[in-house]
């Protein structure tokens, strides 16, 4: 077990580049099963969840090779196992995305219940709805999901929610199905777009990318391709928050500023601003963080919603920024019922937060945070605690940092390069 030892109060400076989109990387690894030819993925993040997914694929017979630190070559020419290892599958959320590709490759598979962050109830009903509508038989047991179907067929599919992974499941299954498929109420996040664009590079016929209606014409086979993942816009949002709470001037290179338009609105309610410089984002130092009241002096709200709304993965970052802003704000986490439970750790650091219920917290700032011993509960809350520790006075020790490593590649090294006092140490 390792910890981060962080000495707060340091001004940071310089340029940081976000890694490839974690939430695109994981479904793209599943897409490699849809062809026997090589799939080469550029700008791949070397993070914990990718390593687990690769290990899972390797045990099934998929060949993989890092041909550069951020370029991965995959080939699923022969599969000698179509029921993925339950222990590995249960460690990551996106193991469920192997279902559609394995139905096309083998006509059946058995998948253990997936893992992932403990952020409340995370439905898989949309996955089952999509696959059953495409002609698969799905049997649900307490410990696993069993899928079968020798040939899937296109259909009109209206998803019961804008589920990102549910949409990706439907897309992965529909690209090789017989006939056309239309997916209504589809998710449209940048990582869903990356998946669709990569599949098109492999020979799929998907239109409507970036909208909530996807049209897919099934093809008989896919071929190999090369594809470059976009930057991880959750990392970009995290780095904007990092600059804000530490009063630092930072440049975020290759940030795709257009993907931060709703983040600009929500962080702007806390007084955070920045400039776009081509494809970079430039955050000025020593910003005065001040809550911007709604009209007539009403307490403002920061809330999440499906794309292009404010991402739920950045709610914990927004909450930490709010602890450093003058004024009162309501944080309303609508999409998950366990994501605010890290608030107790901020309270131990001196934050003034009232947790109203699993979905709402009132933050009164600014608070002088102090160093504390902390435990990372999940990827995004873990990164939020790193931000809190960096703007606190004194020393913080964060344990269970494997959770942070699952989504942020070498974050300690990258932050140290900006001047942060952060060291990775073996736990005592």
- pLDDT tens, position by position, 15-48: 999 999 999 999 999 999 999 999 999 999 999 9
At residue 424, the pLDDT reads 97
What does the pLDDT average to over 131-153?
Answer: 92
Whether 120 has a pLDDT exceeding 70, the answer reads no
What does the pLDDT average to over 249-256?
Answer: 98
DSSP strand E in 144-300: where?
Answer: 144-148, 156-158, 180-184, 205-207, 213-217, 225-228, 249-252, 275-277, 280-283
Backbone angles phi, psi at 237, to 5 degrees: -60, -40
At residue 115, the pLDDT reads 66
At residue 117, the pLDDT reads 45
What are the residues facing 422 on neighbouring strands?
A: 6
Q: For residue range 182-195, list pLDDT tens digits in order.
A: 999 999 999 999 99
Asked if residues 159 and 186 have their Cβ atoms less than 8 Å apart, the reply is yes
What 8-state DSSP symbol labels residue 406? T
Lowest mean per-residue pLDDT among 184-193, 315-324, 419-428: 419-428
DSSP string, 21-85: -HHHHHHHHHHGGG-SS-EEEES----HHHHHHHHHHHHHT-EEEEEETTEEEEE-S--S-SS--
At residue 338, the pLDDT reads 78
What does the pLDDT average to over 300-315?
Answer: 96
User: Position of tokens 């990387």?
Assistant: 25
Sketch out the chain's domains with CATH numbers: 2-19+231-426 (3.65.10.10), 22-228 (3.65.10.10)
Catalytic residue numbers? 117
What does the pLDDT average to over 147-164?
Answer: 94
């Amino acid at each position: 077990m390792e910890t981060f030892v962080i000495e707060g109060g340091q001004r940071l400076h310089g340029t940081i580049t976000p890694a490839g989109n974690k939430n695109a990387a994981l479904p793209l690894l599943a897409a490699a099963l849809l062809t026997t030819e090589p799939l080469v993925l550029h700008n791949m993040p070397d993070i914990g969840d990718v390593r687990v997914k690769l290990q899972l694929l390797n045990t099934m017979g998929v060949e993989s090779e890092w041909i550069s630190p951020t370029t991965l070559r995959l080939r699923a020419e022969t599969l000698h196992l179509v029921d993925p290892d339950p222990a590995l599958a249960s460690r990551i959320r996106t193991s469920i995305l192997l279902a559609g590709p394995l139905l096309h490759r083998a006509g059946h598979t058995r998948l253990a219940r997936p893992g992932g962050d403990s952020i409340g109830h995370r439905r898989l009903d949309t996955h089952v709805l999509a696959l059953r509508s495409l002609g698969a038989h799905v049997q649900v047991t307490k410990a696993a999901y069993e899928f079968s179907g020798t040939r899937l067929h296109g259909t009109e599919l209206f998803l019961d929610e804008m589920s990102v992974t549910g949409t990706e499941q439907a897309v992965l299954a529909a690209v090789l199905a017989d006939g056309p498929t239309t997916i209504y109420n589809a998710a449209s996040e940048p990582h869903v777009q990356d998946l669709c664009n990569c599949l098109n590079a492999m020979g799929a016929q998907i239109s409507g990318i970036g909208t909530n209606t996807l049209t897919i014409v099934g093809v008989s086979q896919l071929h190999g391709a090369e594809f470059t993942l976009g930057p991880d816009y959750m990392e970009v949002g995290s780095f904007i928050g990092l600059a804000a709470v530490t009063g630092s001037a930072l440049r975020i290179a290759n940030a795709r500023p257009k993907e931060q338009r709703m983040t600009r609105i929500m962080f702007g309610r806390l007084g955070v601003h920045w400039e776009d410089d081509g494809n970079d984002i430039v955050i000025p130092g020593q910003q005065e963080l001040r809550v911007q009241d709604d009209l007539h002096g009403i307490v403002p709200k920061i809330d999440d919603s499906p794309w292009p709304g404010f991402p739920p993965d950045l709610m914990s970052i927004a909450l930490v920024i709010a602890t450093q802003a003058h004024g009162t704000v309501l944080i309303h986490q609508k999409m998950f019922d366990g994501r605010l439970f890290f608030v107790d750790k901020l309270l131990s650091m001196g934050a003034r937060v009232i947790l109203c219920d699993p979905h709402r917290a009132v933050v009164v700032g600014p608070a002088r945070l102090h160093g504390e011993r902390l435990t990372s509960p999940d990827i995004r809350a873990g990164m939020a605690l790193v931000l809190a520790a960096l703007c606190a006075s004194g020393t913080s020790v964060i344990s269970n940092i494997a959770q942070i490593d699952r989504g942020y590649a070498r974050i300690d090294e990258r932050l140290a390069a900006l001047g942060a006092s952060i060291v990775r140490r073996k736990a005592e």
